[in-house]
Structure 1
Amino acid sequence: MIILGIESTAHTIGIGIVDEHGVLANENDTYTPPQGSGIHPREAADHHILVVSSLLNRALDKAGVRLSDIDAVAFSQGPGLGPALRVGATVARFISARFNKPLVPVHHGVAHIEVAKMATGARDPLVLLVSGGHTMVTAYSGGRYRVFGETMDISVGNCLDMFARFLGLPNPGVPHLEECARRGKVMLELPYTVKGQDMSFAGLYTAAVRLVKEGRRVEDVCLSIVNTAYYMLAEVTERALALLGKRELVLAGGVARSPILRGIMETVASEYSVILHVVPPEYAGDNGAMIAWTGLLAYRSGVRVSIEDSVIRQRWRLDEVPIPWLSGG
């Protein structure tokens, strides 16, 4: 069985091709906004339109297959930026119609989780999903991934990226922000907002900007915002481990590339005697392979969508998605 997957939720357009044994191709191209700017949805979509054809050809060549060889085409149906999502969905619909292939809808967040499990061998983990669009602690229960803590406003990745842009740091922002944080010497007081199992990062960003404008040492502010954000994640992760008794912890999503966050989660895992699995860097950020792999799992479980019903879902919650490949039906 061969599945082609298309990722286009935000700044990355990706084409992945997988079979039951693993990833055959994972070709991605990322839109880089002008220095100091965030992602403009229409500009990201224009970028995706320009590169998707060559990206598709590269993936097919890498996998050694033709479009007629694939069994189904999966696409990121949501959540994400509307114009960007529509590019991937339109390409998927065309392939489905032209080559008479089934169309498989995939939730972007579920794909981050499933590719991390595939790559690390995790079976029934607690998952800390941290990216530009997601910040949540989740685990499978009763047919779905249930959320045991999440951001109440912006994601941790968005918070740190915005602060990096405010400082004028190059893209991608988080690695450069963490490099600055390593030169910090003093932890400054910033809002640490954990309410029950939920977190808030908007006030953290605002307070960090204020400290810089007040003349505080930039390296100290970087140290403070990074550590405050990550220790908020650690607190809710620890509480979820205590509640659920899971023996595995998976760190997934683009921010999982952070060596600072990984070090903090290694401490958490050690304290609770659980195995920490970190998604490999090539599957951490948005990528086509994660859509293709999750599409394979879904397709084998009978998940399909007609072209008429394949409308994108910009605000699709992770805990709304049935997971039949784990529930058995």
Structure 2
Amino acid sequence: MPGRVRSDPLKNPERPYLAIGLEGSANKFGAGVIKHFVDGTTAVLSNIRHTYITPPGEGFQPRHTALHHREWALQIIQECLVKAGVSMHDLDCICYTKGPGMGAPLQSVALVARTLSLLYNKPLVGVNHCVGHIEMGREVTGAQNPVVLYVSGGNTQVIAYSRQCYRIFGEALDIAVGNCLDRFARVINLSNDPAPGYNIEQEAKKGKRLLPIPYVTKGMDVSFSGILTAVEALTTDKRFRPDGQPKNANDEDIITPADLCFSLQETVFAMLVEITERAMAHIGSKEVLIVGGVGANERLQEMMGVMAEERGGKVFAMDERFCIDNGIMIAQAGLLSFRMGFETPISKSTCTQRFRTDQVHVSWRA
């Protein structure tokens, strides 16, 4: 993590510390204020976000998403501070998402963070988006040393901690699982409100047929692009009925959008459970922590729970407040780093679309 380390690390502060986190790596702009108390406890004072939603069948373009973030940044930050009952002067640092993510939206957030830092003379802390998810998950669930399944629109990784680094045991070799689900939602014209993945989940609950589609695991890695191509091809099958209704009384062997959502979800989630179990066996862990936007999917949590129970383990999961991209996770990871003496100089307050989880020095963990 580029930056500098102060000579006076704040491992054991004599007073509470406050941080604001700004997140905008994809189509959500979020801001959150967190407080670390002297006794080691943490309080989420506010966590507000706004989502850029496009029409059905359309994704979100970087330029338009960046414009959304610039339009909403001031309002969201003001609401965040008011709800927390603090001012910018009360904060100890300003944390922002350095990467990974979409270039233009990341740049918009970095610009806002730099401006606030200069206006209020507050230290900056650049945060790895993936580590933000992990640290918020650990804080909310109480998981001690879990295997982490990080699943979102842009990332799919199986992670475990070792020697002050989050090591990647397996990952998607092409597109992320969330991207796979989102793109299929566009193919069948599902709404993007509140999120395409959520609407896939609801549609899958109505599915009745598990159709054969590719299942691709390679050791602890997975691949989703071929699966997406295969399930898209089924929408051109003569048995496919976009409205889910047979054409006549004898038309019983049909494929519905719900069947495709069900089959896609069951297949890709089974792959994720398999590689997570393999990582658990490798490191001897009994805990699984699911983070990232796709981690809010109840079916994924259920399938992972069955596997963990069979191994005498436990799944730690969260709801959409903390799974989906948010500012408080950036504040949490940023403040942990700041208390260990880390700061990001203004001259290095850039962002990068490719900032791997295992590039971060996790100095706050022994």
Task: Tell me, yes or no, if structure 1 residue 69 matches structure 2 residue 86.
Answer: no
In structure 1, the residue matched to 2:34 is 18
Sequence identity percentage: 41
**1:271, distance to aligned residue in structure 2 (A):** 1.2
In structure 2, the residue matched to 1:277 is 316
Q: 1:297 aligns with which of 305, 329, 336?
A: 336
| Whole-angstrom CA distance in 1 between matches of 2:170 and 2:306 | 20
In structure 1, the residue matched to 2:199 is 176
| Whole-angstrom CA distance in 1 between matches of 2:298 and 2:120 | 43
Greater fraction of residues in helix: 1
| Whole-angstrom CA distance in 2 between matches of 1:296 and 1:78 | 17
Q: Which runs of 5+ in 2 are unaligned?
A: 1-16, 37-41, 241-254
Q: Deviations over 1:92-142 (max 9, x none)?
A: 111111111111010000001110111111111111111111111101111
The count of aligned residue pairs is 327
Q: 2:179 aligns with which of 138, 158, 164?
A: 158
State the AA in 2 paired with 1:146.
Answer: R
| Whole-angstrom CA distance in 2 between matches of 1:178 and 1:109 | 23
| Whole-angstrom CA distance in 1 between matches of 2:349 and 2:164 | 22
| Whole-angstrom CA distance in 1 between matches of 2:45 and 2:144 | 22
| Whole-angstrom CA distance in 1 between matches of 2:132 and 2:35 | 15
In structure 1, the residue matched to 2:246 is none
| Conserved 8 A contact 2:286-2:308 | no
Q: Structure 1 length as normaliser, TM-score?
A: 0.97
Task: Give me the CA root mean square deviation.
Answer: 1.0
Moved more, 149-158 or 215-224: 215-224
SS at match of 1:104: strand
In structure 2, the residue matched to 1:99 is 120
State the AA in 1 paired with 2:236.
Answer: K
| Conserved 8 A contact 1:187-1:223 | yes
Task: Tell me, yes or no, if structure 1 residue 198 matches structure 2 residue 237.
Answer: no
SS at match of 2:132: helix
SS at match of 1:29: strand
> What pairs with 1:103-182 in structure 2 (closer than 5 Å)?
103-171=124-192, 172-182=195-205
State the AA in 2 paired with 1:155.
Answer: A
Task: Tell me, yes or no, if structure 1 residue 268 matches structure 2 residue 268.
Answer: no
**1:259, distance to aligned residue in structure 2 (A):** 1.1
**1:267, distance to aligned residue in structure 2 (A):** 0.4
| Conserved 8 A contact 2:155-2:176 | yes
| Conserved 8 A contact 1:116-1:280 | no
Q: Deviations over 1:130-172 (max 9, x none)?
A: 1111111101111110011110011101101100111001111
State the AA in 1 paired with 2:261.
Answer: C
Q: 2:236 aligns with which of 210, 213, 238?
A: 213
Task: Tell me, yes or no, if structure 1 residue 313 matches structure 2 residue 349.
Answer: no
**1:280, distance to aligned residue in structure 2 (A):** 3.0
Q: Deviations over 1:274-304 (max 9, x none)?
A: 1211023200100000001111111011111
**1:322, distance to aligned residue in structure 2 (A):** 1.0
SS at match of 1:153: coil
State the AA in 2 paired with 1:212.
Answer: T
Q: Deviations over 1:72-100 (max 9, x none)?
A: 00000000111100111111111111111
State the AA in 1 paired with 2:24.
Answer: S
| Whole-angstrom CA distance in 1 between matches of 2:200 and 2:121 | 47
**1:220, distance to aligned residue in structure 2 (A):** 2.1
Which portions of structure 1, spanning 4 or more consecutive aligned residues, are displaced by more than 6 angstroms?
none
| Conserved 8 A contact 1:33-1:40 | no
Larger radius of gyration: 2
Q: Which runs of 5+ in 1 are unaligned?
A: none
| Whole-angstrom CA distance in 1 between matches of 2:328 and 2:277 | 30
